[in-house]
């Protein structure tokens, strides 16, 4: 069986470093907000090329924390897309704010900036562009609109560790940026984890306080916060893996290039690398109007695949009717019907890529 993702293979390829990191934390005896977290926050902020990193409990919490640090609260509106992980929208609602959705560009699967002006109101407090599948959203028009309307931009970088936009990494463009270290992400922990990145000292301070009950001094809350912390074990594992993130991303790009070649010509629509930046292929996502049949066929042939995401946010039972209805966001709805994520992870072999591509061709010839 070729899995769609394989976090265990990541562990195996970093086994020595990971086991040493874990043993080190166990021995030191400090398990929350210690040296490992502080060091990882510095190292990851350096990687993104921003001044501050604040480690938190998950990507969803990173978004929640960043939005709260920007002052988002009840009565505010926050713009994002319907084609994303539900965490993006959950974080907005955790602030008591109202998500306002804008459809995606069908080529990049990211926010269509031409549709943004119509969504902006006097209550718009922030925009959350999602860099989906490993590719940046088209940030310049989004940032220009935001700056001229005094709106904050919080990047959702949960799938874009290391991806660039106009030569600069995602996460270094907005007022704040949020990363997830869920095990299958391009930089993955061995549990949950996340980080907020920013260049703004005031926003960084807000985020740091909110992360731990508003404590400037232990047990004394200067503002009302809560608890969302990155733990030492996760930080140590992430430090062990960060040095190979660029090599892992290069490997993903190489495998994507192989898929591109082997699947041309083919009946599926291939992912597009937009001219404005470097894709890091968190996922290799094709489109097919017979997606469910293709997925079943691949499964019969021992090939795993997943659908990211099968239901757009506005049509999920929890949000339906509140954030939109059938037909509100046609491109997101079409993407939900057509997308399929083929196997993609750094340890995937070239032989396996050939096997997958062959199976896709066999599927199309057979019908």
Ligand X SMILES: *Cc1c(COP(=O)(O)O)cnc(C)c1O
For residues 180 and 206, which CB has a smaller minimum distance to ligand X in the complex? 180
In SS3 terms, the chain reads as CECCCCHHHHHHHCHHHHHHHHHHHHHHCCCECCHHHHHHHHHHHHHHCCCEEEEECCHHHHHHHHHHHCCCCCCCEEEECCCCCHHHHHHHHHCCCEEEECCECCCCCCECHHHCHHHCCCCEEEECCECHHHCCCCHHHHHHHHHHCCCEEEEECCCCCCCEECCEECCCCCCEEEEECCCCCCCCCCCCCEEEEECCHHHHHHHHHHHECCEEECCEECCCCCECCCEHHHHHHHHHHHHHHHHHHHHHHHHHHHHHHHCCCCCCECCCCCCCCCCCCCCEEEECCCHHHHHHHHHHCCECCECCCCCCHHHCCCCCCCCCCCCCCHHHHHHHHHEEEECCCCCCCHHHHHHHHHHHHHHHHCC
For residues 103 and 156, which CB has a smaller minimum distance to ligand X in the complex? 156
For residues 37 and 159, which CB has a smaller minimum distance to ligand X in the complex? 159
Establish how many alpha carbons lie within 13 A of residue 41's alpha carbon, considering only the half-sphere containing its beta carbon: 22
Minimum CB distance to ligand X, residue 232 (Å) = 18
For residues 76 and 156, which CB has a smaller minimum distance to ligand X in the complex? 156
Minimum CB distance to ligand X, residue 37 (Å) = 16
Minimum CB distance to ligand X, residue 27 (Å) = 28
Minimum CB distance to ligand X, residue 170 (Å) = 12
For residues 108 and 180, which CB has a smaller minimum distance to ligand X in the complex? 180
Minimum CB distance to ligand X, residue 270 (Å) = 21
Please give the structure tokens belonging to residue 247: 């090599």
* Closest residue to bound ligand X by CB: 59
For residues 60 and 77, which CB has a smaller minimum distance to ligand X in the complex? 60
- Alpha-carbon dihedral 76, 208, 179, 27, rounded to 10 degrees: -150
For residues 84 and 305, which CB has a smaller minimum distance to ligand X in the complex? 84
Minimum CB distance to ligand X, residue 336 (Å) = 15
Minimum CB distance to ligand X, residue 202 (Å) = 24
Spatial separation of the C-alpha atoms in residues 4 and 237, rounded to whole Å:
23
Please give the structure tokens belonging to residue 334: 């079409």
Minimum CB distance to ligand X, residue 87 (Å) = 3
Which stretches of the chain bind ligand X, using CB under 6 A?
Answer: 58-60, 84-85, 87-88, 130, 156, 158-159, 180, 182, 192, 194
For residues 297 and 309, which CB has a smaller minimum distance to ligand X in the complex? 309
For residues 5 and 263, which CB has a smaller minimum distance to ligand X in the complex? 5
Minimum CB distance to ligand X, residue 75 (Å) = 24
């Amino acid at each position: 069986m070729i899995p769609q993702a394989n976090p265990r293979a990541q562990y195996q390829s970093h086994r020595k470093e990971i086991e040493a990191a874990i043993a080190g934390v166990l021995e030191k005896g400090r398990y929350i907000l210690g040296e490992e977290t502080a060091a990882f926050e510095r190292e990851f902020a350096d990687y993104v090329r921003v001044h501050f990193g604040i480690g938190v409990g998950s990507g969803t919490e990173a978004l929640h924390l960043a939005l709260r640090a920007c002052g988002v609260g009840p009565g505010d509106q926050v713009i994002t897309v319907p084609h994303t992980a539900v965490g993006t929208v959950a974080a907005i609602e955790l602030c008591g704010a109202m998500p306002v959705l804008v459809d995606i560009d069908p080529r990049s699967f990211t926010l269509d900036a031409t549709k943004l002006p119509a969504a902006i109101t006097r209550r718009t407090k922030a925009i959350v562009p999602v860099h989906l599948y490993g590719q940046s959203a088209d940030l310049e028009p989004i940032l220009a609109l935001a700056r001229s309307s005094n709106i904050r931009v919080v990047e959702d970088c949960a799938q874009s560790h290391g991806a660039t936009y106009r030569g600069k990494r995602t996460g270094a463009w907005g007022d704040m940026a949020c990363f997830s270290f869920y095990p299958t992400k391009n930089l993955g922990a061995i549990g949950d984890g996340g980080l907020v990145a920013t260049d703004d000292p005031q926003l960084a301070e807000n985020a740091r306080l909110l992360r731990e009950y508003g404590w400037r001094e232990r047990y004394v809350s200067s503002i009302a916060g809560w608890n969302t912390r990155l733990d030492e074990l996760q930080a140590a594992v992430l430090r062990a893996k960060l040095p190979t993130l660029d090599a892992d991303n290069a490997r993903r790009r190489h495998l994507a290039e192989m898929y591109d070649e082997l699947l041309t010509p083919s009946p599926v629509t291939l992912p597009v690398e937009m001219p404005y930046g470097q894709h890091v292929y968190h996922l290799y996502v094709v489109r097919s109007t017979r997606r469910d049949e293709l997925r079943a066929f691949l499964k019969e042939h021992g090939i795993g695949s997943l659908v990211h995401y099968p239901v757009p946010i506005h049509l999920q039972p929890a949000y339906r009717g509140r954030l939109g209805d059938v037909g509100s966001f046609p491109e997101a709805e079409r993407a939900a019907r057509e997308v399929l994520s083929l196997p993609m992870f750094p340890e995937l072999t070239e032989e396996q890529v050939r096997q997958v591509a062959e199976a896709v061709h066999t599927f199309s010839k057979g019908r």
